[in-house]
Amino acid sequence: MFELVREDLARVEQEIAAQNALAIPPVAEISSYLLEGGGKRLRPALLLLAAGMCGYRGDSAIRLGAVVEMIHTATLVHDDVIDEADLRRGRPSANSRWGNHRSVLAGDWLYMQSFRMALRERNFRILDILIELTQNMVEGELLELDMLGRIDLSESEAIELAYRKTACLFSGCTHLGAVLGQRGPEIEQALSEYGRYAGLAFQLVDDVLDFTASPSQLGKPVLNDLKEGKVTLPLIYALECRNGDARKMVGTVLAEKGFHSVRPEQIAELVHGTGAVERTRRMAHHYAAKAKSLVSELVDSDFRRALLAVPDFVLDREN
């Protein structure tokens, strides 16, 4: 699926390394550690595939691929500071190694350097897309903080949060690829929406994995979201099907900010026993199908077929 852009992704890695070389040593150490953390580089791959489908392959796609990966990495380090996370992708998080102050500043540097790189395109439409998606992600963090510990979240609130925290960046990546290809507003809209729905499917699979994967698969503890005060879609669905005792049990975990009076196995049983995992998976499949429908009618090419395969890759992943 990503064979088409393998060489371009290698160039993206080279561009990221070149940008890190420009940083002062304290920032370079942290940013290199973050960017070498074993991520899938799915976001730059989406940008490259969308650009290729629209007939563009060149330096701008490489540069913007590095930009979106650096923005993504900056959001992860800020997330870990906010969540007081100890692990990221199976390794100690930046904040657990270097502390919150240095980690936040390293994340800020990644944001600023990514926008400095984007400015080299001298294209206001590219900057508009990047500013909008970054603002959406920051607003998503703020909304998530406001929702922490809430047991009454609705499906629509969970989906809105999934868009702001995850899917808006996917959408921005495919939109940027279309802008580079200059194929017109209809293609841009189709690819932007494709990214949105693929991103929503990605986040819902992530929510499911929190209840179904092993710690080694996730690279972090399971049921970590609830421990951090986050009520995700599988738990929202489970609580719709159970009585007040289940709500009281979840409320206890949220109040204690951990599994002290309630065991993780009890929460896992609650979610699995109500069919909430399967219901969330069906929603993820729904969004994946919507993503594929948006590119299925476009002109056939190897790049279009690769984009059609991405949602299935998202649904089948184990970490």
**Residue 137 is part of a domain; what is its CATH number?**
1.10.600.10
Please check whether residue 287 is in contact with residue 198, taking contact to mean a CB–CB distance below 8 angstroms: yes
Residues 6+ apart with CB under 8 A from 174: 46, 47, 49, 50, 191, 192, 194, 195, 198
Residue 218 confidence (pLDDT) above 70? no
Domain count of the fold of the chain: 1
Nearest to 170 by CA among 276, 37, 288: 288
Residue 138 confidence (pLDDT) above 80? yes
**pLDDT score for 245:** 87
Q: Taking residues 168-173, what's their average pLDDT? A: 98
Q: Which two tokens stand for residue 145?
A: 């903080």
Whether the full predicted model's pTM is greater than 0.85, yes or no, is yes
Residues in the chain: 319
Residue 169 confidence (pLDDT) above 70? yes
**pLDDT score for 214:** 78
Measured CA to CA, the distance from residue 190 to residue 111 in angstroms comes to 27
Q: Please name every residue paired with 88 in a beta bridge, in sequence order, or none if there are none.
A: 91
Give the HSE-up count for residue 276: Cα atoms under 13 Å, Cβ half-sphere: 27
**pLDDT score for 127:** 97
Higher pLDDT among residues 219 and 184, named by residue: 184
**pLDDT score for 35:** 81
Give the HSE-up count for residue 265: Cα atoms under 13 Å, Cβ half-sphere: 0
Q: Taking residues 199-206, what's their average pLDDT? A: 97
| Burial tier of 95 (Cβ tally within 10 Å: 0-12, 13-18, 19+) | buried
Q: Taking residues 72-95, what's their average pLDDT? A: 91
Measured CA to CA, the distance from residue 49 to residue 305 in angstroms comes to 10
Lowest mean pLDDT segment, chosen from 8-17, 61-70, 218-227: 218-227
Residue-range definition of the domain harbouring residue 49 = 3-316
Q: Taking residues 43-63, what's their average pLDDT? A: 97
